Structure 1
């Protein structure tokens, strides 16, 4: 009887351990999703990367405006034409990530530093949250809500 109880206990702890590792892995994937999406869409001004990181029905709520993939594409395609193109470096500080049943939300602070010829021309700060869903192609952002924070 003691052997059976020991085996059952061992199985329970092993299952819990695997579950915790899966959650840690998902949280890491979601943190990477946020960082890469900003780097590969907004820093690179590359609208071709939208499908890789955003769902088809993605919404960006920023500063009282509602953007979708089409309006983001239009913005990025116009921004590429303006010269000189500033270099944008993002700093993302994750506040929290919650994952449940193929859905997630992420809260984070976002800072972007814009430079031209290695001179800072602008700094911007946001407090943001995002929702993501697990698709057959991995995690994708479904919505992002952005609130500008005064420059420090």
Structure 2
């Protein structure tokens, strides 16, 4: 009987975590995707996970420039080599909507940059993301970013 308990517990635990992820709405999954992509890619510069967040044909519209996957990787590699400042992101989601296999979200993105415990820069952007559902889950296909007006 003891031999059956451990496999049963393993199955129940695995099912519970899978079910919990499925309970998240598509809107929340897209918002989580945005937050996690910034934490992994733009805060830790972990390019090994870029495919977990972006489609291969991603386009980022960044302050008058169009970035494709190669440009994004180059920017992140350069930032990592420079030992860029520590970055902390905060998001204020305005609207998120899903229609079948495509969704979008509009949000404020606040980033605080610091080095040696001292804040050296704070930036506020307004951004939008278009995400598509893939067989691996939601991925960002387009991100449009521009600086928010100073108040």
Pick the TM interval, shorter chain. Answer: 0.7 to 0.9
Q: Output the TM-score relative to the length of structure 2.
A: 0.81
Quickly say closer, same or farther: Cα 1:23–1:146, change in 2 above 3 A: farther
Q: What corresponds to 2:80 in structure 1? A: 80
RMSD over equivalenced CA pairs, Å: 1.6
SS class of match (1:45): coil
Which consecutive residues of structure 1, in runs of 5 or more, have no partner in the other structure? 1-21
Alignment length (residue pairs): 130
Q: What corresponds to 1:48 in structure 2? A: 48
SS class of match (2:49): helix
- Distance in 2 (CA, whole Å) between partners of 1:150 and 1:48 is 34
SS class of match (1:115): strand
Ranges of 4+ aligned residues in structure 1 off by more than 4 Å: none
1:92·1:111 contact (CA, 8 Å) conserved in 2? yes
The alignment status of 1:110 with 2:97, answered yes or no, reads no
Which consecutive residues of structure 2, in runs of 5 or more, have no partner in the other structure? 1-21
Q: What corresponds to 2:148 in structure 1? A: 149
The offset of 1:24, in angstroms, is: 6.2
SS class of match (2:82): coil
Q: What corresponds to 1:59 in structure 2? A: 59
Quickly say closer, same or farther: Cα 1:43–1:124, change in 2 above 3 A: same
Q: Output the TM-score relative to the length of structure 1.
A: 0.81
- Distance in 2 (CA, whole Å) between partners of 1:74 and 1:48 is 13
Quickly say closer, same or farther: Cα 1:121–1:150, change in 2 above 3 A: farther
1:23·1:99 contact (CA, 8 Å) conserved in 2? no
- Distance in 2 (CA, whole Å) between partners of 1:128 and 1:62 is 9
